[in-house]
Amino acid sequence: MFAYANPKKFMELSGTILPWLSGATILALAAGLVLGFRTPPDYQQGDTVRIMFLHVPAAWTAMMAYGLMALASVIGLVNRHPLADAAAKAAAPLGAVFTALGLVTGSLWGKPMWGAWWVWDGRLTSFLLLLLIYLGYIALGSAIEDETRAARASAILAIVGAVNLPIIEFSVDWWRTLHQGESILRSGGPLIAPVFLWPLFLMAIAFTLLFFTLWIVRIRTEILRRRARSLMLSESP
């Protein structure tokens, strides 16, 4: 796997994969949206249940993106692979967008269900903290001019911030909360009816594919930016 940490090999491989990945993303999104909007209203939540098909995949993708960013940061600090920093840096804005989408859709879903746009419970507060960590990572990397120092400082922040992921995951078990507990990956089986479960799974796959598609595009862009910068520095007197 580390053989493809070479930027040239990564550009070749990603250039081959990207069209297929983009096509799979479009198909999965289209199928998921069609199935999601064709589901019947829930007996309790009515039509608002369809927000689930955006909220849950966005939240899952936001946490996955941070996990990958933290992993890339560890590799960058320990093994100094050339693509690790680029991969972590490329994941941050995408993760921030998915986190913001999760917060917005959660607020839209919470208003009719809880009677409030926002409550300071464990799940919502820790998920808001995830967005702030993403933004802090981006800001820190932009504030330091030296790219090597910026990469190290950002990597340390990403690794430390990873402690928030289990807090998000288990917050509904650790504290009293309005947010529902685990309803899919549980020992007794999913609590969601199959008519809602299958579109939800499809949208989760679609959002995952969308993230990887955009992530690869951003990594390729970062590689090209660094190549252009190196050429400009080598040609400058």
**Average pLDDT along the chain:** 85
Q: How far, in Å, CA of 196 to CA of 138, rounded?
A: 36
Retrieve residue 126's tokens.
């820790």
Nearest 5°: phi and psi at 57?
-60, -35
Q: Which of 19-23, 45-49, 59-63, 151-155 has the lowest mean pLDDT?
A: 45-49
Q: Is the pTM of this model over 0.85?
A: yes
Q: Which of 67-71, 87-91, 111-115, 223-227 has the lowest mean pLDDT?
A: 111-115
Instruction: Using the predicted structure, report yes or no on whether residue 1 has a pLDDT greater than 70.
Output: no
Rama region for 16: left / alpha / beta (φ>0; ψ in -120 to 50; rest): alpha
Q: How far, in Å, CA of 108 to CA of 129, rounded?
A: 19
Q: How far, in Å, CA of 176 to CA of 196, rounded?
A: 26
Residue 236 confidence (pLDDT): 59
Q: How far, in Å, CA of 106 to CA of 91, rounded?
A: 22
What are the extents of the domains in the chain?
17-38+49-178+193-231
User: Where in 90-193 does DSSP place strands (E)?
Assistant: none
Condensed to tens digits (0 to 9), the pLDDT of residues 113-141 reads 777 787 888 888 899 999 999 999 999 98
Average pLDDT over residues 177-195: 62
135 vs 83, higher pLDDT: 135
Cβ atoms of residues 42 and 49 within 8 Å: yes
Q: How far, in Å, CA of 102 to CA of 82, rounded?
A: 32
